[in-house]
Structure 1
């Protein structure tokens, strides 16, 4: 891994290309998870906890979560919630790690910022619902974490409720927003008494007619939502986004068109809004926050230089080379080859699935999007 968090093959030192990802994806993810979670423990002082809460490290059927050393005694508690297929605590998404690097694909930078700001932290793991036994045939549901929703209830009862924090804050990415909204409904009375604020990044939740007035009120007044958009950074969005989410919505901006790869756009969004997001958590009120923020246009970026063989050079070269490789592969697929799985949620396509990649893993399978 280089200084920017981009992953390179140890044997050759070269950056990852599509063939490397096809062959070594699980090996790479496992190595990144070990690095990220070791950093959480050793550098940032997290410890591993479990659902069910009375589980030991040796217990075979459990879901692991992470808590900061001060989560029980802090004055303000921040709960991180991210969900996608095969995800581990401490990562935003597997795809971001593989295509945009560890710095953008992991939550480490946000953890450091939260600790500096005085928050206690809990990192949810709603993806962990079953344990596959060694024979590969038997699958056991995890008590208290048999579904993402049950996991969130158990997390609240076993860890959030135990904290003495006066205010509880949430940070949700993608489907994490759906689970935070679920918790507003299932633990609404308890949460209302301690509600801090909710920050959402590219959330896939929706406001529904049947939602309670308290849920609608929290989303409207105590929640801020960011998504990539062509409008300048911190511009208030109108139209579909606020209507769909029930939140105040802001633009996270968008990188130059030369970098318009999906993963780069998402990484750009997550990195760009970090300081702004924590300012909102401190302010708590959506109207007050927006009134104090000004849209910030992106400075013009010169086009990348290219070598004689057409390969880009300069600081962004490795990323652009991967994008070019992906573009070539996409072109090849149009000429007869086919995609085998969704590049985002890793759902494996079959003969009857449409080869459409998820923008956000909101559905049970990528093929329905």
Structure 2
């Protein structure tokens, strides 16, 4: 039994070599029979069938990379950027306008065998490219003026030596590298994050470490069946407030809860709604249109808030005495000085500018302004219940 498991097999390095291809609908089909993928290639040989599946999955992973580069014009960026020639490396993808775009979308998949550009390899093989990859999200973002960063958090070790990769030794560290080296230095004023499953854990870690930047620039955090925990990740009240205002988690739920139905999220402070499916791996695709709508609404709300602040600032700087009346009063004073006699003010209005009254109004405005709240940086010790968002309580590997 052990000899059979350790046996090595030689598999094709192209999808055509496996006898499969994607049709016009993005569905994987056998080139001759046009049938869907069949896991069992050899009867009663689970080891071979599993390795056959994994080998084809590796080929599909490379195909998705190629699609992002050719169809979406994304660039593959090597990490660490200053790596030595013999040092283990990883990579991620980003658009050419990442550093200059006013808007930026960051995509983060879950744990397991998935790589950059994928939500679930199982869906790519058994359903279609649209449901299993991030390509629809990338294309929508580009059509709406977003620069795009596609994270690759699961590639943490060298393939052969298994040596940890500097700056990407864990999913959390990989995301921190992307944020500190690329997102933080971008000119984006509106940043949105879409994260699935364990990607929600990575997102919460970013929020904890970069909460000031999140409050300033991150407009929306769209999660799909996220397994984050505000309690276990020791989140402050400031972070929790941010998620309550700008976060939403589309969780797997039964047919009794249609898409976008609010769900009881127990002690998870992030607003949680139904993803319209009870399948964990399908939540990103099933809630995609709702996520796009949420992003647009959050950015619009942010723009309205900015406009209100600008208008409030302008109104507070307006002189309470109209300029025309000031000029008229000054002219009357000038005439009085020239003639040394009381001016004829019949039919006109003379406005006396009382500077003391103006100063009093300004003082009153300042006193009515609410003082800036102080961040107590509470570590959420009072929130001692675990998160239950109607989805998984532990990370699930995306097969």
Q: TM-score, normalised by structure 1?
A: 0.69
In the alignment, does 2:85 pair up with 1:96?
no
Which ranges of structure 2 fall in alignment gaps of 5 or more residues? Answer: 1-21, 42-48, 303-390
Which residue matches 2:13?
Answer: none
Q: Deviations over 1:37-83 (max 9, x none)?
A: 21211121100112213348x76511110001111111111100112
In the alignment, does 2:91 pair up with 1:64?
yes
Which residue matches 2:295?
Answer: 281
Q: How far is 1:280 from its partner?
A: 0.9
Please say if residues 111 and 395 of structure 2, whose CA atoms lie closer than 8 Å, have aligned partners that are also in contact.
no
Q: Quote the Cα distance in structure 1 between the aligned partners of 2:130 and 2:251.
A: 19
Aligned pair partner of 1:141 in 164, 177, 187: 164
Aligned pair partner of 2:221 in 198, 208, 224: 198
Closer, same or farther in 2 for the Cα pair 1:193/1:287, shift >3 Å?
closer
Q: Quote the Cα distance in structure 1 between the aligned partners of 2:67 and 2:295.
A: 25
Which residue matches 1:76?
Answer: 103
Which residue matches 1:353?
Answer: none
1:146-165 equivalence runs, <5 A: 146-165=169-188
Q: How far is 1:186 from its partner?
A: 1.9
Please say if residues 119 and 284 of structure 2, whose CA atoms lie closer than 8 Å, have aligned partners that are also in contact.
no
Please say if residues 126 and 149 of structure 1, whose CA atoms lie closer than 8 Å, have aligned partners that are also in contact.
yes
Closer, same or farther in 2 for the Cα pair 1:179/1:4, shift >3 Å?
same
Which residue matches 2:250?
Answer: 226
Find runs of 4+ consecutive structure 1 residues off by over 6 angstroms. Answer: 285-288
Q: How far is 1:364 from its partner?
A: 9.0
Which residue matches 1:331?
Answer: none
In the alignment, does 2:78 pair up with 1:54?
no
1:306-325 equivalence runs, <5 A: none
SS at match of 2:260: coil
Which ranges of structure 1 fall in alignment gaps of 5 or more residues? Answer: 255-259, 289-358
Q: Quote the Cα distance in structure 2 between the aligned partners of 1:39 and 1:59.
A: 28
Please say if residues 64 and 125 of structure 1, whose CA atoms lie closer than 8 Å, have aligned partners that are also in contact.
yes
SS at match of 2:29: coil
Q: Quote the Cα distance in structure 1 between the aligned partners of 2:182 and 2:290.
A: 28
1:165-314 equivalence runs, <5 A: 165-208=188-231, 210-229=234-253, 230=255, 231-237=257-263, 239=264, 242-254=265-277, 262=279, 266-267=281-282, 269-284=283-298
Q: Quote the Cα distance in structure 1 between the aligned partners of 2:164 and 2:156.
A: 6
Q: How far is 1:23 from its partner?
A: 4.7
Please say if residues 221 and 287 of structure 1, whose CA atoms lie closer than 8 Å, have aligned partners that are also in contact.
no
Please say if residues 196 and 284 of structure 1, whose CA atoms lie closer than 8 Å, have aligned partners that are also in contact.
yes
SS at match of 1:281: helix
Which residue matches 2:142?
Answer: 115
Q: Quote the Cα distance in structure 1 between the aligned partners of 2:207 and 2:194.
A: 13
Which residue matches 1:33?
Answer: 61
Q: How far is 1:12 from its partner?
A: 4.5
Q: Quote the Cα distance in structure 2 between the aligned partners of 1:365 and 1:91.
A: 12
Q: How far is 1:187 from its partner?
A: 2.1
Q: Quote the Cα distance in structure 2 between the aligned partners of 1:118 and 1:79.
A: 13
Q: Deviations over 1:205-259 (max 9, x none)?
A: 122184211210111110011123221222222x2xx2243111112223xxxxx
Q: Deviations over 1:167-223 (max 9, x none)?
A: 221100011001100111122233332222100011111221842112101111100
Which residue matches 1:349?
Answer: none
Which residue matches 2:319?
Answer: none
Please say if residues 71 and 121 of structure 1, whose CA atoms lie closer than 8 Å, have aligned partners that are also in contact.
yes
Aligned pair partner of 2:394 in 357, 362, 369: 362
1:1-12 equivalence runs, <5 A: 1-10=22-31, 12=33
Closer, same or farther in 2 for the Cα pair 1:51/1:361, shift >3 Å?
farther
RMSD, aligned CA: 2.7
Aligned pair partner of 2:40 in 8, 12, 19: 19
Q: Quote the Cα distance in structure 1 between the aligned partners of 2:269 and 2:393.
A: 20
Q: Quote the Cα distance in structure 2 between the aligned partners of 1:170 and 1:219.
A: 12
